[in-house]
Each structure stands twice: as C-alpha cells, then as structure tokens.
Amino acid sequence: MNDDLQLLRRYAEEGSECAFSELVARHIDLVYTAALRQVAGDTHLAQDVTQTVFADLARKARALSGRAVLTGWLFQATRYAAAKAVRTERRRLNREREAVVMQEPSTGTDANWEQLSPVLDEAVARLGAKDRDAVLLRYFERKDLRAVGDALGTSEEAARKRVTRALERLRRYLTGRGVTLSAATLATALTGSAVQSAPAALAGTISAAVFAGATAAAAGSSFNL
C-alpha cells in the first residue's frame, strides 16, 4: 500500500487529523491549480472547489482507502466540483455575465502555455485511467520515474514507457483541439506550469473545516443514541 493510502486509512479508521492534514499538504497545489484553470482563474471560486474536494475526500475516506492511486481520484473530483461550482456561479449571476476572471499574474510570456491551459484538463481527462495517473504523477506531482513506477505497481522502465505513450496520446488529442506542440515542448510546459502554489492559509482552512464537520457529526450521532 502506498503512503497516501496509509494516511487515508489512518484518517478513516482512527480519525487522525495529522494524517489528513498531511494528505492536504501533499495534494493541495495540484487540486487548487486544476480548479483554478477550470473556473477561469477565479481564485475565490478555486478555493471553494478545493475545500469541496478535500471535504469529499474526508467523507469518502474509507471507500477510497483501497484505491491504487489517490491522485487520479483527486483530479477527477476537482473537475466535477469545478463544473458544479461554475454552473452555480452562473446561475447566481442570472447568466448576465461570465464569472469575473481573476488570473494569477503570469511568470512568463509562454505562448504555448496560454494555448494549452484552457484545454489541458479536458485533454488529461480523455486519457485512460492508467495513462492519466501516469501523467498526473509525473508532471503534476513532479515525481521521478521510480516513484511513478512504485505508485503504479510497476518498474521504473515500465513507468517511463507508460509516461511516454500517455504523453503522446495527450499530444495527439491536443493537436485535434488546435494546440500543436511537440512531445518535448508539451513535457516542458507541463513541468513548468501545470501546478502552482495554493494560497498559504488554504490548507489550514480546509483541515479546520473538515475537523469541525467531523466533530459536529460525531456529536449528532451521540445525541441520537
């Protein structure tokens, strides 16, 4: 069992706040950045989505503790939560205007990333589960190939081949969407820009909200008894 799943099982079985906080710290940048792309750069909405995803993780911890790779679930959960959040926001604005775009200032003028960012999550979601996990682990969580292989239950060489094939499939899909990049350029763009740091206080806010909810639920159960 990989370390993520050990932490998730500790939270599910023992209610370990330390274990859950460690999971949040490990994955919050990936979740927040994916959410940010999918809500058109609205940082407040991205934070709401991030909190929703980790709250869902806490609720489903027992069921998810048997998964092979937690990263894939987090990525998909972020897509669903972001889509729902965008629909809710549009209804709130009575469809009169799009949600306000609050993009983080760009650290460069990379035209490749400007093309890639709007369609990246859709493209990654189109990959098969194993290919998607490989790409997320390698480029979004920036793990070396040995660590990717360990997470996927395979060798370093097999992980290298899996990542190479998955990257090529991703590149072909992007070409069909009008984003033409070489595999090397795509890998460089993903490595440099796919994940950025979430706001410093967000992890603490999420953990506090989850633990408060768990405490309230436990109190309610005791009262019902």
Distance CA 159, CA 154 (A): 7
pLDDT in tens, 51-103: 999 999 999 988 887 777 888 999 999 999 999 998 887 776 654 432 222 23
Record: fold of 111-195: Arc Repressor Mutant, subunit A (1.10.10)
Nearest to 20 by CA among 207, 222, 214, 220: 207
The pLDDT of residue 221? 54
CA distance 64 to 23: 13
List helix spans (H) across 96-155.
111-126, 129-135, 145-152
Q: pTM of whole model > 0.75?
A: no
Task: Report the CATH architecture of 1-104+200-225.
Answer: Orthogonal Bundle (1.10)
pLDDT digits (tens, 9 = 90+) for 148-168: 999 999 999 999 999 999 999
Rounded CA separation 14/6 (Å): 11
Domain locations in the chain as residue ranges:
1-104+200-225, 111-195
pLDDT tens sequence across 204-223: 888 888 888 766 665 555 44
Q: Tell me the pLDDT tens digit for each residue of 120-134.
A: 899 999 999 999 999
74, 124 contact by CB (below 8 A): no
